[in-house]
Amino acid sequence: MASRMTAALPAAVLILRLLTLALLVASLALIAADKVNVDGDPPQRFTFKDVHAYRYVLAVAVLGCAYTLLHLPFAAVGVARRKRLVGGGGEDVALLLVVADVAFALLLAAGAGAGLGFTHDAKRYFDGVEFGGTGGSPEDDRHQRDVDRFFDLASASAGLVLAAAACMALMIILSVYSLVKSRSDS
C-alpha cells in the first residue's frame, strides 16, 4: 500500500502541474481578449492594460506559466522513474523546491485577489451608472452589457488564477507529505 502511494505521488504532482498550466494559459487567453468599447465623444476602448489590477493578473499568470513549464520536465522524469526526482538531490533541494512552490502559490493567490477584488468593487460602482443619462434605452443597455462582459471576463480570468493557486497548494501538500514520508522511512 505504501509503495503504491509513493509511486502515485509523482503522477499526481505531474497532473497537478499540467492542470495548473492549463488554468494559467486559459486565464491568459481571457485577460488578453478582455476589452470594451464605449461610444462617446471621442469613442474609447478599454482593455486589461488600462487597469493595474488586471495587468498584475496577467503578469502573475505569465510568471506562473514560466515556473510551471520549468518544473514540468522534472515532474515527467519523476513519473518515468516512479519516484521523486529531487530525492537524489537530498532533502535540502526538496525543501527549497517546496519553498519555491509556496512562494509561487502565494503570488498566484495575490494576483487572483487583486483581480477579483477590483472587479467586485468596479462592478458594484458601474451597476448604478446610467450610460448616456437617458436610462433604459437600447444603447444604454448595450453599454451596460459590454461593461458587464468586460468585468465578467476579468473575473473569470482571476478565478482561473485562483484555481491554479489551489492546484499549487495541493502540490505543496503532496510534496511535504513526500518529504515527511522519506524522512520517516530513513
**Whether the Cβ atoms of residue 112 and residue 158 lie closer than 8 Å to each other:** yes
10 Å CB burial of residue 183 (0-12, 13-18, 19+) is exposed
How much is the pLDDT for 23? Answer: 98
Residues counted in the chain? 186
The structure's pTM equals 0.86
Rounded CA separation 99/183 (Å): 17
Answer with the residue of higher pLDDT: 93 or 41: 93
Tens-place pLDDT, residues 51-62:
999 999 999 999
Q: Considering the chain, what is the average pLDDT of its residues?
A: 85
Asked if 105 and 167 touch (Cβ cutoff 8 Å), the reply is no
Query: Maximum CA pair distance of the chain?
Result: 75
pLDDT digit string, tens, across residues 62-94 = 999 999 999 998 888 878 876 654 545 567 777
Nearest to 160 by CA among 17, 12, 13, 25: 25
Residue 122 or 93, more confident: 122
- Domain boundaries along the sequence of the chain: 2-185
